Amino acid sequence: MEAIILVGHGSPKKDANRMDFVGRWLHAMLHPGCAGSCVRFCYLQFAKPDLKEAIGEAVKDLNPRRIVIHPYFLSPGMHVTRDIPEIIEEARALYHGVDFICTEPLGVASGIVRVARERIEAAGGIAPLEIEKRSFAKIMEEAERKLGKIPASVRPVVQRVVHATGDFEFINTLIFHPDAVAAGLDAIKRGMDIVTDVNMARVGINEKTLSRFGGKAVCGMDGAPGGDVKTKTSQDKSSKTRAERGIGLAARHPNAGIIAIGNAPTALYECMSLINRGEIKPGLVIGVPVGFVRAVEAKALLASMDFPFITNAGRKGGSAVAAAIVNALLVLAGRARENEHENKNVS
């Protein structure tokens, strides 16, 4: 058994003593899924526990064969070169059979320098669009290095999904119908509405940009404009979920151009059924429901369809993913409009 003890300086300002946070973070990185207390923290001054107490508690609780002590200091000053080693020597004399190891302090590591650069850049007041631009650049740098090329036609969509989720797995799992992006842009440019299965997806859509094209975001849970999702028709019995009934009503709205489903697999099944029966004909279906029950199967079925769709393989997904895909299409539509205006002005 090994115990790890992080040693911070400590401060009279109580809320500055956050070695507990660092300890939990490091524990999760070193021992994923571990529920024990093998990574601990302490202070040299002003706060408890101190290093002597932390060592004693670790020996009592864990009976470790080895204790690794890491000075959470930037440079090897007197605390690192004198105070901590003296306490360790006292502990060696008290706890026979325990091997004590003291690491180097944080020092001038490349990771520390990167953090310093990030802090300096942040202090410069980077504009939101610049932050987004840099984020996308980092995403693509990571993607190019680890996972290869992403087709240019879908790259903006993939970028935004990874940016919204922090999950690079979507680079491998997102699936696009060949006409998906073009069909989505056409629906947006024609001022068509976007129907979502839940309000969480609707509120994530940039409605200000969407409104510039004449469209709006509509939640299936609210039913079609002027309708009521709670109302049951003779053909729509109680066996259907609210999400199914909502999509059934909202998707029939004449101006429904894109259907975006990020939560309910039942809504996606209903949407595909309506399309296959010829009752609705949206320009694009975005189906990325998250979950363990029927979500994988619903997305796999969508991936086999011959109408324009965007989906992903596996359990992951969600309203944030659905909204990110829509917002990526809105950005592309905006750029296309700007290019068209520029070309007209040039001609």
Output the pLDDT for position 41: 95
**Same structural domain for residues 82 and 185?**
no
Q: Is residue 109 in some structural domain?
A: no
**Same structural domain for residues 92 and 144?**
no
Question: What does the alpha-carbon distance between residue 40 and residue 271 come to, in Å, rounded to a whole number?
Answer: 52
Q: Is residue 114 in some structural domain?
A: no
**Same structural domain for residues 180 and 297?**
yes
Distances (CA, A) of 196 to 6, 69, 217: 48, 53, 7
**Same structural domain for residues 68 and 188?**
no
**Same structural domain for residues 98 and 144?**
no
Output the pLDDT for position 231: 41
Q: Is residue 32 in some structural domain?
A: yes
Output the pLDDT for position 228: 43
Question: In the listed set 87, 102, 117, which residue is the last one of a domain according to the structure?
Answer: 102
pLDDT tens for each residue of 244-300: 888 988 889 889 999 999 999 999 999 999 999 999 999 999 999 998 888 999 999
**Same structural domain for residues 68 and 185?**
no
CATH of the domain at 34: 3.40.50.1400
pLDDT tens for each residue of 209-256: 999 999 999 998 875 554 444 444 444 455 788 888 889 888 898 899
Q: How many domains is the chain built from?
A: 2
Domain that holds residue 222: 135-342
Question: In the listed set 102, 117, 145, which residue is the last one of a domain according to the structure?
Answer: 102
Output the pLDDT for position 171: 87
Catalytic annotation on 163? yes
Q: Is residue 6 in some structural domain?
A: yes
CATH of the domain at 197: 3.40.50.10230
Q: Report angle CA 333, 337, 338 to the nearest 5 degrees.
A: 120
Question: In the listed set 79, 102, 125, which residue is the last one of a domain according to the structure?
Answer: 102
- Considering the chain, what percentage of its residues have pLDDT values greater than 70? 87
Exposed/middle/buried for residue 169 (C-beta within 10 Å: 0-12, 13-18, 19+): middle
Question: In the 3-class helix/strand/coil scheme, how is the chain assigned residue by residue?
Answer: CEEEEEEECCCCCHHHCCHHHHHHHHHHHHCCCCCCCCEEEEECCCCCCEHHHHHHHHHHHHCCCEEEEEECCCCCCHHHHHHHHHHHHHHHHHCCCCEEEECCCCCCCHHHHHHHHHHHHHHCCCCHHHHHHHHHHHHHHHHHHHHCCCCCCCHHHHHHHHHHHCCCCHHHHEEECCCHHHHHHHHHHCCCEEEECCHHHHHCCCHHHHHHCCCCEEEHHHCCCCCCCCCCCCCCCCCCCHHHHHHHHHCCCCCEEEEEECCCHHHHHHHHHHHHCCCCCCCEEEECCCCCCCHHHHHHHHCCCCCCEEEECCCCCCHHHHHHHHHHHHHHHHHHHHHHHHHHHHC
Q: Is residue 120 in some structural domain?
A: no
Output the pLDDT for position 311: 96
Q: Is residue 253 in some structural domain?
A: yes
Question: What does the alpha-carbon distance between residue 187 and residue 326 come to, in Å, rounded to a whole number?
Answer: 11
Q: Is residue 331 in some structural domain?
A: yes
* Closest to 327 measured CA to CA, from 214, 209, 211, 213: 209
Q: Is residue 155 in some structural domain?
A: yes
Catalytic residue among 27, 163, 177, 253: 163
**Same structural domain for residues 72 and 215?**
no
**Same structural domain for residues 150 and 264?**
yes
Output the pLDDT for position 223: 57
User: What's CA 19's distance to the chain center, in Å?
Assistant: 26
Which parts of the chain have pLDDT scores under 70?
A: 110, 121-129, 131, 136, 139-140, 142-149, 223-238, 342-347
Torsion sign, CA atoms 72, 76, 82, 88: positive
What dihedral angle (degrees, nearest 10) is formed by the CA atoms of 295, 296, 301, 306?
Answer: 90
